[in-house]
Amino acid sequence: MKVLVCTAPRHAQIFPFGRELEHLGAEAAFFYTPAYGDGASFFARRLQKLGLGNGEASYWRRLRKELFQRTEAERPDVVLFLNTVDQMLPQEELRRYHALLQQQGAKFFLWLVDPVYGREELLPTLRQYDRVFSYEERDASWLSGLGLPTSFLPLGYGADYGTVAARERDIDVLFVGTPYRSRLPLLEAIARVGRAEGWKLRFCGPFYPAGNIWKRLVFSLRHGALSCLVENGTFSPAEIAALYARAKICLNIHGNGSTGLNPRSYEILGAGSFLLVDERESYDCFVPGEDFDVYRSPEELVEKVRYYLAHPEEREKIQQQGHASAEGRSLLESLRRLLALAGKAAPKGREDALSAGESDS
For the chain (length 361 residues), average pLDDT per consecutive 10?
Answer: 93 91 94 80 64 79 96 97 91 96 96 94 95 96 96 95 93 94 91 96 93 88 90 94 97 90 96 97 96 96 97 98 96 94 53 34 28
pLDDT value for 44: 62
Q: What global pTM score does this model have?
A: 0.89
Domains with residue ranges and CATH for the chain: 2-154+330-355 (3.40.50.2300), 159-325 (3.40.50.2000)
pLDDT value for 320: 97
Evaluate whether 254 touches 315 at the Cβ level (below 8 Å): no
Considering only CA atoms, which of 133, 125, 172, 131 is closest in space to residue 309? 172
